[in-house]
Amino acid sequence: MFKKILIANRGEIAIRIIRACKELNIATVAVHSTADEHSLHVRFADEAVCIGPPQSDKSYLNIPAIISAAEITDADAIHPGYGFLAENAEFAEVCEKCRIRFLGPKPDHIRQMGHKSAARELAKKSGVPTIPGSESMVHTLEEAVSVAEGVGYPLMLKAAAGGGGRGMRVIRSAEDMGKMFEVVRSEAGAAFGDPSVYIEKYIENPKHVEVQIMADAHGTVLSLGERDCSIQRRHQKLVEETPCPVLPEAARRAMSECAVTLASAIGYESLGTVEFLFDQTTGAYYFIEMNTRIQVEHTVTEAITTLDLVKEQIRIAAGEKLRFKQEDIKFFGHSIECRVNAEDPFTFIPCPGEITGLNIPGGPGVRVDTALYVESTVQPYYESLVAKLIVHGIDRREAMAKMTRALSEFHIAGIKTTIPLLVEVMASPEFRSGKYHTGSMDKLLAER
Protein backbone atom coordinates (compact mmCIF):
# COMPACT_ATOMS: atom_id res chain seq x y z
CA MET A 1 0.00 0.00 0.00
CA PHE A 2 1.09 3.59 -0.61
CA LYS A 3 2.70 5.62 2.17
CA LYS A 4 1.87 9.08 0.85
CA ILE A 5 -0.50 10.32 -1.87
CA LEU A 6 -0.44 13.75 -3.48
CA ILE A 7 -3.86 15.05 -4.56
CA ALA A 8 -3.52 16.96 -7.83
CA ASN A 9 -6.86 18.73 -7.48
CA ARG A 10 -8.85 21.11 -5.32
CA GLY A 11 -12.28 21.63 -3.77
CA GLU A 12 -14.66 18.91 -2.70
CA ILE A 13 -13.01 16.09 -4.66
CA ALA A 14 -9.65 16.82 -3.03
CA ILE A 15 -11.29 16.61 0.39
CA ARG A 16 -13.07 13.41 -0.63
CA ILE A 17 -9.74 11.79 -1.54
CA ILE A 18 -8.04 13.03 1.64
CA ARG A 19 -10.80 11.42 3.72
CA ALA A 20 -10.34 8.07 1.99
CA CYS A 21 -6.58 8.25 2.49
CA LYS A 22 -6.92 9.00 6.18
CA GLU A 23 -9.13 5.93 6.64
CA LEU A 24 -6.49 3.84 4.87
CA ASN A 25 -3.77 5.39 7.08
CA ILE A 26 -2.07 7.03 4.10
CA ALA A 27 -0.42 10.44 4.48
CA THR A 28 -1.59 13.17 2.07
CA VAL A 29 -0.12 16.14 0.25
CA ALA A 30 -2.33 18.97 -1.02
CA VAL A 31 -1.19 21.14 -3.88
CA HIS A 32 -2.75 24.55 -4.28
CA SER A 33 -2.65 27.79 -6.18
CA THR A 34 -2.02 31.07 -4.40
CA ALA A 35 -5.78 31.71 -4.56
CA ASP A 36 -6.48 28.48 -2.66
CA GLU A 37 -4.01 29.06 0.18
CA HIS A 38 -6.80 29.02 2.77
CA SER A 39 -8.90 26.30 1.17
CA LEU A 40 -10.23 23.39 3.19
CA HIS A 41 -8.26 20.75 1.30
CA VAL A 42 -5.06 22.56 2.27
CA ARG A 43 -6.10 22.52 5.93
CA PHE A 44 -7.09 18.85 5.93
CA ALA A 45 -4.00 17.43 4.23
CA ASP A 46 -0.87 16.44 6.16
CA GLU A 47 1.31 18.63 3.95
CA ALA A 48 0.66 21.36 1.39
CA VAL A 49 2.69 22.79 -1.48
CA CYS A 50 1.91 25.92 -3.48
CA ILE A 51 2.35 25.18 -7.18
CA GLY A 52 1.59 28.50 -8.84
CA PRO A 53 -0.74 31.46 -9.37
CA PRO A 54 -4.54 31.23 -9.64
CA GLN A 55 -4.73 30.45 -13.35
CA SER A 56 -5.22 26.70 -13.89
CA ASP A 57 -2.62 26.40 -16.62
CA LYS A 58 -0.02 27.79 -14.23
CA SER A 59 -1.03 25.67 -11.22
CA TYR A 60 -3.43 22.71 -11.35
CA LEU A 61 -2.49 21.98 -14.97
CA ASN A 62 1.21 22.62 -14.41
CA ILE A 63 2.68 19.13 -14.73
CA PRO A 64 6.31 20.02 -13.82
CA ALA A 65 5.18 21.85 -10.69
CA ILE A 66 2.98 18.95 -9.56
CA ILE A 67 5.71 16.36 -10.18
CA SER A 68 8.20 18.56 -8.28
CA ALA A 69 5.76 18.78 -5.36
CA ALA A 70 5.45 14.99 -5.31
CA GLU A 71 9.23 14.55 -5.38
CA ILE A 72 10.06 17.04 -2.64
CA THR A 73 7.40 15.52 -0.34
CA ASP A 74 8.34 11.90 -1.20
CA ALA A 75 4.82 11.08 -2.38
CA ASP A 76 4.71 7.66 -4.03
CA ALA A 77 1.38 8.19 -5.80
CA ILE A 78 -0.73 10.99 -7.29
CA HIS A 79 -4.53 11.04 -7.37
CA PRO A 80 -5.83 13.41 -10.07
CA GLY A 81 -9.50 13.43 -8.99
CA TYR A 82 -11.69 14.54 -11.89
CA GLY A 83 -11.16 17.40 -14.32
CA PHE A 84 -7.78 19.12 -14.68
CA LEU A 85 -5.25 16.32 -15.44
CA ALA A 86 -7.45 13.32 -14.61
CA GLU A 87 -7.68 12.12 -18.21
CA ASN A 88 -4.36 13.45 -19.46
CA ALA A 89 -2.34 10.53 -20.83
CA GLU A 90 0.84 12.61 -20.97
CA PHE A 91 0.58 13.34 -17.24
CA ALA A 92 0.08 9.64 -16.49
CA GLU A 93 3.17 8.83 -18.57
CA VAL A 94 5.26 11.45 -16.77
CA CYS A 95 4.19 9.94 -13.44
CA GLU A 96 5.30 6.50 -14.65
CA LYS A 97 8.70 7.81 -15.81
CA CYS A 98 9.20 9.45 -12.42
CA ARG A 99 8.24 6.22 -10.64
CA ILE A 100 5.19 7.82 -9.11
CA ARG A 101 1.97 5.78 -9.33
CA PHE A 102 -0.80 7.54 -11.21
CA LEU A 103 -4.07 6.61 -9.50
CA GLY A 104 -6.02 5.83 -12.62
CA PRO A 105 -5.78 3.67 -15.74
CA LYS A 106 -2.72 3.18 -17.92
CA PRO A 107 -1.79 6.02 -20.29
CA ASP A 108 -2.67 3.91 -23.35
CA HIS A 109 -6.16 3.27 -21.99
CA ILE A 110 -6.70 6.96 -21.26
CA ARG A 111 -5.60 7.80 -24.78
CA GLN A 112 -7.61 5.01 -26.43
CA MET A 113 -10.88 5.68 -24.61
CA GLY A 114 -10.41 9.45 -24.62
CA HIS A 115 -10.52 9.54 -28.41
CA LYS A 116 -14.23 9.09 -29.04
CA SER A 117 -13.91 7.69 -32.53
CA ALA A 118 -11.31 5.10 -31.44
CA ALA A 119 -13.48 4.13 -28.49
CA ARG A 120 -16.46 3.78 -30.78
CA GLU A 121 -14.50 1.47 -33.10
CA LEU A 122 -13.41 -0.65 -30.14
CA ALA A 123 -17.03 -0.87 -29.00
CA LYS A 124 -18.09 -2.06 -32.44
CA LYS A 125 -15.41 -4.76 -32.49
CA SER A 126 -16.49 -5.86 -29.01
CA GLY A 127 -20.12 -6.23 -30.09
CA VAL A 128 -21.32 -3.23 -28.11
CA PRO A 129 -24.12 -1.31 -29.89
CA THR A 130 -23.05 2.07 -31.27
CA ILE A 131 -25.00 4.93 -32.81
CA PRO A 132 -25.07 4.84 -36.64
CA GLY A 133 -22.65 7.35 -38.13
CA SER A 134 -19.44 7.89 -40.07
CA GLU A 135 -17.01 4.99 -40.17
CA SER A 136 -14.11 7.33 -39.39
CA MET A 137 -13.20 11.02 -39.26
CA VAL A 138 -14.73 13.41 -41.80
CA HIS A 139 -12.18 15.90 -43.07
CA THR A 140 -14.06 18.11 -45.54
CA LEU A 141 -17.48 19.70 -45.80
CA GLU A 142 -18.17 17.71 -48.97
CA GLU A 143 -17.38 14.46 -47.19
CA ALA A 144 -19.53 15.47 -44.22
CA VAL A 145 -22.54 16.24 -46.44
CA SER A 146 -22.13 12.92 -48.24
CA VAL A 147 -21.99 10.95 -44.98
CA ALA A 148 -24.94 12.91 -43.59
CA GLU A 149 -27.09 11.93 -46.57
CA GLY A 150 -26.42 8.28 -45.80
CA VAL A 151 -26.95 8.56 -42.04
CA GLY A 152 -29.95 10.89 -42.28
CA TYR A 153 -30.77 14.11 -40.44
CA PRO A 154 -30.85 15.09 -37.63
CA LEU A 155 -27.32 14.14 -36.68
CA MET A 156 -24.58 15.16 -34.28
CA LEU A 157 -21.26 16.61 -35.40
CA LYS A 158 -18.74 15.79 -32.67
CA ALA A 159 -15.11 16.47 -31.85
CA ALA A 160 -13.19 13.18 -31.76
CA ALA A 161 -11.19 14.29 -28.73
CA GLY A 162 -14.11 16.11 -27.10
CA GLY A 163 -15.52 15.98 -23.62
CA GLY A 164 -17.64 17.91 -21.14
CA GLY A 165 -20.20 18.82 -23.78
CA ARG A 166 -17.73 20.83 -25.88
CA GLY A 167 -17.20 20.41 -29.61
CA MET A 168 -20.72 19.17 -30.33
CA ARG A 169 -23.50 20.51 -32.57
CA VAL A 170 -26.88 19.16 -33.63
CA ILE A 171 -27.14 19.36 -37.42
CA ARG A 172 -30.66 19.24 -38.87
CA SER A 173 -30.00 19.99 -42.55
CA ALA A 174 -27.30 20.32 -45.20
CA GLU A 175 -27.56 24.07 -44.68
CA ASP A 176 -26.73 23.62 -40.99
CA MET A 177 -23.77 21.46 -41.94
CA GLY A 178 -22.45 24.18 -44.23
CA LYS A 179 -22.65 26.72 -41.42
CA MET A 180 -21.28 24.59 -38.59
CA PHE A 181 -18.68 22.19 -40.02
CA GLU A 182 -15.68 24.52 -39.83
CA VAL A 183 -16.98 26.06 -36.59
CA VAL A 184 -16.90 22.67 -34.82
CA ARG A 185 -13.49 21.82 -36.31
CA SER A 186 -12.11 25.14 -35.07
CA GLU A 187 -13.60 24.63 -31.62
CA ALA A 188 -12.16 21.12 -31.44
CA GLY A 189 -8.71 22.32 -32.46
CA ALA A 190 -8.73 25.16 -29.94
CA ALA A 191 -10.12 23.14 -27.03
CA PHE A 192 -8.44 19.77 -27.53
CA GLY A 193 -5.55 20.35 -29.91
CA ASP A 194 -7.20 18.03 -32.43
CA PRO A 195 -9.64 19.34 -35.08
CA SER A 196 -10.89 15.86 -36.04
CA VAL A 197 -14.66 15.44 -36.11
CA TYR A 198 -17.06 12.61 -36.86
CA ILE A 199 -20.79 12.18 -37.39
CA GLU A 200 -23.40 10.30 -35.39
CA LYS A 201 -27.15 9.92 -35.81
CA TYR A 202 -28.88 12.27 -33.37
CA ILE A 203 -31.25 10.44 -31.01
CA GLU A 204 -34.09 12.77 -30.07
CA ASN A 205 -34.71 13.12 -26.32
CA PRO A 206 -32.81 10.05 -25.09
CA LYS A 207 -31.85 9.17 -21.56
CA HIS A 208 -28.16 9.49 -20.70
CA VAL A 209 -27.34 6.34 -18.74
CA GLU A 210 -23.85 5.41 -17.55
CA VAL A 211 -22.51 2.21 -16.03
CA GLN A 212 -19.88 2.33 -13.29
CA ILE A 213 -17.19 -0.32 -13.66
CA MET A 214 -14.31 -1.32 -11.42
CA ALA A 215 -11.38 -3.38 -12.71
CA ASP A 216 -8.18 -4.66 -11.10
CA ALA A 217 -4.84 -5.61 -12.63
CA HIS A 218 -5.66 -9.32 -12.31
CA GLY A 219 -8.39 -9.50 -14.96
CA THR A 220 -11.48 -8.96 -12.81
CA VAL A 221 -13.99 -6.39 -14.08
CA LEU A 222 -17.20 -5.65 -12.18
CA SER A 223 -20.28 -3.58 -12.94
CA LEU A 224 -21.56 -1.45 -10.06
CA GLY A 225 -24.85 -0.60 -11.74
CA GLU A 226 -26.06 2.34 -13.76
CA ARG A 227 -26.78 6.02 -13.16
CA ASP A 228 -29.31 8.22 -14.93
CA CYS A 229 -27.63 11.53 -15.78
CA SER A 230 -30.24 12.97 -18.15
CA ILE A 231 -30.95 16.26 -16.33
CA GLN A 232 -28.41 18.42 -18.15
CA ARG A 233 -27.92 21.96 -19.32
CA ARG A 234 -25.64 22.41 -22.32
CA HIS A 235 -24.48 18.81 -21.86
CA GLN A 236 -23.43 19.53 -18.27
CA LYS A 237 -25.03 17.24 -15.71
CA LEU A 238 -27.07 18.82 -12.91
CA VAL A 239 -28.86 15.86 -11.29
CA GLU A 240 -27.98 12.16 -11.23
CA GLU A 241 -29.76 9.18 -9.75
CA THR A 242 -29.50 5.42 -9.44
CA PRO A 243 -31.09 3.17 -10.41
CA CYS A 244 -32.48 4.64 -13.64
CA PRO A 245 -36.22 4.88 -12.90
CA VAL A 246 -37.50 3.57 -16.28
CA LEU A 247 -34.79 1.17 -17.47
CA PRO A 248 -36.16 -2.33 -18.17
CA GLU A 249 -34.33 -5.06 -16.27
CA ALA A 250 -33.19 -6.76 -19.48
CA ALA A 251 -31.65 -3.52 -20.77
CA ARG A 252 -30.03 -2.90 -17.38
CA ARG A 253 -28.32 -6.28 -17.44
CA ALA A 254 -27.29 -5.95 -21.08
CA MET A 255 -25.77 -2.49 -20.61
CA SER A 256 -23.77 -3.69 -17.61
CA GLU A 257 -22.53 -6.66 -19.60
CA CYS A 258 -21.51 -4.36 -22.45
CA ALA A 259 -19.59 -2.11 -20.07
CA VAL A 260 -17.70 -5.07 -18.61
CA THR A 261 -17.00 -6.46 -22.09
CA LEU A 262 -15.59 -3.15 -23.31
CA ALA A 263 -13.30 -2.70 -20.31
CA SER A 264 -12.15 -6.31 -20.50
CA ALA A 265 -11.30 -5.94 -24.20
CA ILE A 266 -8.41 -3.57 -23.40
CA GLY A 267 -7.37 -5.02 -20.05
CA TYR A 268 -8.61 -1.89 -18.30
CA GLU A 269 -7.76 -1.34 -14.65
CA SER A 270 -9.08 1.29 -12.20
CA LEU A 271 -12.51 2.90 -11.99
CA GLY A 272 -14.27 3.87 -15.21
CA THR A 273 -17.68 4.84 -16.53
CA VAL A 274 -19.16 3.55 -19.77
CA GLU A 275 -21.82 5.92 -21.09
CA PHE A 276 -24.87 5.10 -23.21
CA LEU A 277 -27.86 6.80 -24.77
CA PHE A 278 -31.12 4.97 -24.11
CA ASP A 279 -34.06 5.46 -26.48
CA GLN A 280 -37.20 5.29 -24.33
CA THR A 281 -39.38 4.84 -27.42
CA THR A 282 -37.62 1.84 -28.95
CA GLY A 283 -35.76 0.45 -25.93
CA ALA A 284 -32.49 0.55 -27.89
CA TYR A 285 -29.27 1.68 -26.27
CA TYR A 286 -26.01 2.89 -27.79
CA PHE A 287 -22.47 3.34 -26.48
CA ILE A 288 -21.25 6.94 -26.67
CA GLU A 289 -18.01 7.17 -24.66
CA MET A 290 -15.99 5.97 -21.69
CA ASN A 291 -14.68 8.21 -18.91
CA THR A 292 -11.39 6.97 -17.48
CA ARG A 293 -11.60 8.61 -14.05
CA ILE A 294 -13.75 8.83 -10.99
CA GLN A 295 -16.95 10.73 -11.79
CA VAL A 296 -18.52 13.63 -9.92
CA GLU A 297 -21.58 11.43 -9.41
CA HIS A 298 -19.78 8.39 -7.99
CA THR A 299 -21.50 9.24 -4.70
CA VAL A 300 -24.89 7.81 -5.67
CA THR A 301 -23.29 4.49 -6.57
CA GLU A 302 -21.57 4.50 -3.18
CA ALA A 303 -24.93 5.12 -1.51
CA ILE A 304 -26.69 2.09 -3.01
CA THR A 305 -23.72 -0.32 -2.91
CA THR A 306 -22.18 0.83 0.42
CA LEU A 307 -18.75 0.72 -1.29
CA ASP A 308 -16.14 3.46 -0.95
CA LEU A 309 -15.07 3.87 -4.58
CA VAL A 310 -12.08 6.08 -3.84
CA LYS A 311 -10.67 3.52 -1.42
CA GLU A 312 -11.20 0.77 -3.99
CA GLN A 313 -9.48 2.89 -6.64
CA ILE A 314 -6.46 3.28 -4.35
CA ARG A 315 -6.35 -0.44 -3.58
CA ILE A 316 -6.48 -1.29 -7.29
CA ALA A 317 -3.62 1.11 -8.03
CA ALA A 318 -1.60 -0.56 -5.27
CA GLY A 319 -1.96 -3.85 -7.15
CA GLU A 320 -4.47 -5.49 -4.84
CA LYS A 321 -7.07 -7.91 -6.15
CA LEU A 322 -10.70 -6.85 -5.94
CA ARG A 323 -12.25 -8.21 -2.77
CA PHE A 324 -15.57 -8.92 -4.50
CA LYS A 325 -17.13 -11.01 -7.22
CA GLN A 326 -20.02 -9.77 -9.35
CA GLU A 327 -22.53 -11.72 -7.28
CA ASP A 328 -21.29 -9.93 -4.16
CA ILE A 329 -22.41 -6.53 -5.49
CA LYS A 330 -25.82 -5.78 -3.99
CA PHE A 331 -27.97 -2.70 -4.49
CA PHE A 332 -29.96 -1.07 -1.70
CA GLY A 333 -32.66 1.55 -2.20
CA HIS A 334 -32.44 4.67 -4.35
CA SER A 335 -30.04 7.62 -4.41
CA ILE A 336 -30.13 11.09 -6.01
CA GLU A 337 -27.39 13.71 -6.30
CA CYS A 338 -27.88 17.41 -7.01
CA ARG A 339 -24.91 19.53 -8.07
CA VAL A 340 -24.94 22.98 -6.47
CA ASN A 341 -23.17 25.56 -8.62
CA ALA A 342 -22.15 29.11 -7.75
CA GLU A 343 -24.30 30.60 -10.49
CA ASP A 344 -27.33 32.82 -10.80
CA PRO A 345 -30.22 30.30 -11.01
CA PHE A 346 -31.91 32.31 -13.75
CA THR A 347 -29.09 33.69 -15.90
CA PHE A 348 -26.45 31.04 -15.06
CA ILE A 349 -23.80 33.74 -14.77
CA PRO A 350 -21.01 32.53 -12.44
CA CYS A 351 -21.15 34.09 -8.98
CA PRO A 352 -17.85 33.93 -7.11
CA GLY A 353 -17.44 35.63 -3.75
CA GLU A 354 -17.10 35.21 -0.01
CA ILE A 355 -19.37 32.85 1.91
CA THR A 356 -21.02 34.87 4.68
CA GLY A 357 -23.40 32.21 5.96
CA LEU A 358 -23.79 28.46 5.58
CA ASN A 359 -26.24 25.82 6.75
CA ILE A 360 -25.54 22.23 5.67
CA PRO A 361 -28.59 19.91 5.60
CA GLY A 362 -28.44 16.65 7.54
CA GLY A 363 -30.47 13.76 8.84
CA PRO A 364 -30.55 10.06 7.93
CA GLY A 365 -29.49 9.36 4.37
CA VAL A 366 -28.22 12.89 3.63
CA ARG A 367 -24.63 13.58 2.56
CA VAL A 368 -22.99 16.83 1.47
CA ASP A 369 -19.59 16.93 -0.23
CA THR A 370 -18.25 20.48 -0.23
CA ALA A 371 -15.22 22.63 0.49
CA LEU A 372 -17.30 25.61 1.65
CA TYR A 373 -17.06 27.17 5.09
CA VAL A 374 -18.05 30.58 6.43
CA GLU A 375 -15.52 33.19 5.24
CA SER A 376 -14.20 30.88 2.52
CA THR A 377 -14.06 32.30 -0.99
CA VAL A 378 -15.54 30.84 -4.16
CA GLN A 379 -12.85 31.65 -6.69
CA PRO A 380 -13.59 33.00 -10.18
CA TYR A 381 -10.78 30.96 -11.76
CA TYR A 382 -12.30 27.49 -11.54
CA GLU A 383 -15.52 25.64 -12.33
CA SER A 384 -18.60 26.75 -10.44
CA LEU A 385 -19.44 23.48 -8.66
CA VAL A 386 -19.34 24.23 -4.93
CA ALA A 387 -21.27 21.36 -3.35
CA LYS A 388 -22.88 18.00 -4.03
CA LEU A 389 -26.02 17.09 -2.12
CA ILE A 390 -26.64 13.34 -2.05
CA VAL A 391 -29.62 11.53 -0.52
CA HIS A 392 -30.45 7.86 -0.09
CA GLY A 393 -33.90 6.43 0.50
CA ILE A 394 -35.66 3.08 0.64
CA ASP A 395 -37.19 3.84 -2.77
CA ARG A 396 -37.32 6.68 -5.29
CA ARG A 397 -40.33 8.33 -3.67
CA GLU A 398 -38.52 8.58 -0.35
CA ALA A 399 -35.32 9.78 -2.03
CA MET A 400 -37.19 12.59 -3.83
CA ALA A 401 -38.91 13.65 -0.61
CA LYS A 402 -35.60 13.62 1.21
CA MET A 403 -33.91 15.67 -1.50
CA THR A 404 -36.70 18.25 -1.49
CA ARG A 405 -36.44 18.58 2.28
CA ALA A 406 -32.62 18.76 2.22
CA LEU A 407 -32.62 21.47 -0.48
CA SER A 408 -34.97 23.55 1.68
CA GLU A 409 -32.39 23.41 4.50
CA PHE A 410 -29.36 24.16 2.33
CA HIS A 411 -28.48 27.82 2.89
CA ILE A 412 -25.44 29.46 1.28
CA ALA A 413 -25.18 33.22 1.86
CA GLY A 414 -22.90 35.69 0.12
CA ILE A 415 -23.24 34.25 -3.36
CA LYS A 416 -26.04 33.10 -5.64
CA THR A 417 -26.40 29.36 -6.25
CA THR A 418 -28.52 27.01 -8.35
CA ILE A 419 -30.39 25.65 -5.31
CA PRO A 420 -33.70 27.34 -6.36
CA LEU A 421 -33.38 25.73 -9.80
CA LEU A 422 -32.80 22.29 -8.25
CA VAL A 423 -35.95 22.77 -6.16
CA GLU A 424 -37.85 23.39 -9.41
CA VAL A 425 -36.40 20.23 -10.95
CA MET A 426 -37.45 18.10 -7.99
CA ALA A 427 -40.99 19.50 -8.21
CA SER A 428 -41.37 19.14 -11.98
CA PRO A 429 -43.88 16.51 -13.16
CA GLU A 430 -41.45 15.20 -15.78
CA PHE A 431 -38.70 14.50 -13.24
CA ARG A 432 -41.13 12.97 -10.79
CA SER A 433 -42.45 10.63 -13.49
CA GLY A 434 -38.94 9.33 -14.12
CA LYS A 435 -39.46 9.68 -17.89
CA TYR A 436 -37.35 12.82 -18.24
CA HIS A 437 -34.65 12.97 -20.90
CA THR A 438 -31.65 15.05 -21.99
CA GLY A 439 -33.98 17.74 -23.36
CA SER A 440 -36.10 18.05 -20.22
CA MET A 441 -33.97 20.76 -18.62
CA ASP A 442 -34.28 23.02 -21.66
CA LYS A 443 -38.04 22.44 -21.59
CA LEU A 444 -38.25 23.35 -17.91
CA LEU A 445 -36.24 26.54 -18.44
CA ALA A 446 -38.41 27.55 -21.40
CA GLU A 447 -41.56 27.14 -19.31
CA ARG A 448 -40.35 29.34 -16.44
Q: Which residues are catalytic?
A: 293
d(CA 275, CA 262): 11
Alpha helices in 126-221 (DSSP H): 141-151, 174-192
DSSP letters for 351-368: --EE--EEE---STTEEE
SS3 374: coil
What is the enclosing helix (H) or strand (E) of 242?
A: strand 236-242
d(CA 39, CA 9): 12
**Residues forming a β-bridge with 33:** 52
Q: Do the bridges between strand 47-52 and strand 27-33 make them parallel or antiparallel, or are there none, so unpaired? A: parallel
d(CA 278, CA 437): 9
| Nearest residue to 303 (alpha-carbon basis) of 267, 257, 336, 277 | 336
d(CA 404, CA 407): 5
d(CA 399, CA 392): 6
